[in-house]
Amino acid sequence: MNPRNVSVVSLRRTTDIPESALARHDRGMRDHVLSIGADEADSSDLRFRKRLLVGIALLILPIAFLWGCIYWAVGEEAVAVTPWAYAAGSIISLAVFARNRNFPFLRTAQFLLILVAPAAGAVMLGGLDDSSSVVVWSFFAPLGAVAFDRPRRAWPWFAAFVVTILATVVLAEVVRPDGANLPNGFVRTFDVLNIVLVSFVTTMLLVIFAQGRDTAQARVETLLLNVLPEEVAQRLQAEPNSIADHFDDASILFADVVDFTPLASRLDARDVVGMLDRLFTAFDELVDRYEVEKIKTIGDCYMVAAGVPRPRPDHAQALAGLALEMKDCARTCLPGNDLRLRIGISSGPVVAGVIGRRRFLYDLWGDTVNMASRMESHGTSDEIQITRPTWQLLRDDFVTERLGLVDVKGKGAVETWRLVARNDR
């Protein structure tokens, strides 16, 4: 390689590192500043509102300072004090908030400052026209109440905004009836700037809240899909009534960890939860791959259905393939833990639906579900026991062994088979 090229590559790498570090430093500083007044006990929504209000306050600070400088430069020294007073008050409220973490205090202080300071400037300039309608900044008080407080609190602040405008018009006639002698071009320019800047901050606030709403909605939908099948979740959102369906052809699987209770008694609680989490996460991945539906877990028992809520002709084959892989996974996916499963499968009609209104659950009922559960509980370690209806659906595609009659509680003698492997013929 050309030594010059090596030098260029080395130079690029060395210059990239400080830039990356600088970007991380800037991001860390920004997060630190926005997080003033943060509390570990804050909810995610309150944390978001705190950061946003601090950000908006910091965004308006340089605008207020610049406004004061411009008015000072054109000879309106008294008027310049109003935006500077706003800036000073805003800084003080942020400093107090950083110490007491009292969000209602910061909220009220910022609303009062943005309500009064622009109106005071308008009065001192002689009214709405001569002040370039600077009082429109006061609209952030009711708007802020919508964004950072409860929506019903916006109406008192809106009433205060209306009163402020009326008081501005009346007081301006008393304080400065002749109005400020400012160039017409200056006044018109500030008209545009006030409208544009207020519109910009308002739009930014609405966009941020819309994005936050979309993020929250996506989070809720993700949580809902972790509880319910996608089709059922969509139906529940569209029509929040009871959901009940009947499926003529479905297969149900129950899998239980053999001797898990004595194993759990020898382990720390965190180890027990961690073991089940890793095992069931591995099962979840298999369920996704086979495109079947995990129904629930009960302790160390794992329940899966195929053909529900999406009918499919190969429901038994799908669960048979899943069961074989689950049995192998239990032995191998947790190194150092030689776990064994009892698995039962049955096929036939089922009833499915959502029950309850709080912590609701999509569940299945019927003789097919009961038989699958009995196949698991009456089975033996490291084996997959199936009923006749399931065997009839699998016998051409899988290797099975007849077990004979098994005495099942509530059903009497039931003919069962053992699922061995796929039929590779």
**409, 411, 418, 425: the active-site residue:** 409
Alpha-carbon distance of 345 to 419, in angstroms, equals 9
Structure tokens at 222: 């993700």
**374, 388, 411, 422: the active-site residue:** 374
Neighbours of 306 (CB within 10 A): 28
Known catalytic membership, residue 409: yes
What is the distance of C-alpha 345 from the center of its chain? Answer: 36
In which region does residue 307 sit, left (phi positive, over 0), alpha (psi from -120 to 50) or beta (all else)?
Answer: left
Known catalytic membership, residue 50: no
What secondary structure does DSSP assign to 139-186, as a single string?
Answer: GHHHHHHHHHS-GGGHHHHHHHHHHHHHHHHHHHHHH-TT-----HHH
Exposure string over 69-100, b if 16+ CB within 10 A, otherwise e: ebbbeeebeebbbbbbbbbebbeebbeebeee
The residues, ordered by sequence, that sit 6+ positions from 399 with a Cβ below 8 Å of its Cβ are: 419, 420, 421, 422, 423
Beta bridge partners of 344: 254, 385
What's the residue count for the chain?
425
What secondary structure does DSSP assign to 83-118, as a single string?
Answer: HHHHHHHHHHHHHHHHHH--HHHHHHHHHHHHHHHH
Residues with catalytic function: 374, 409
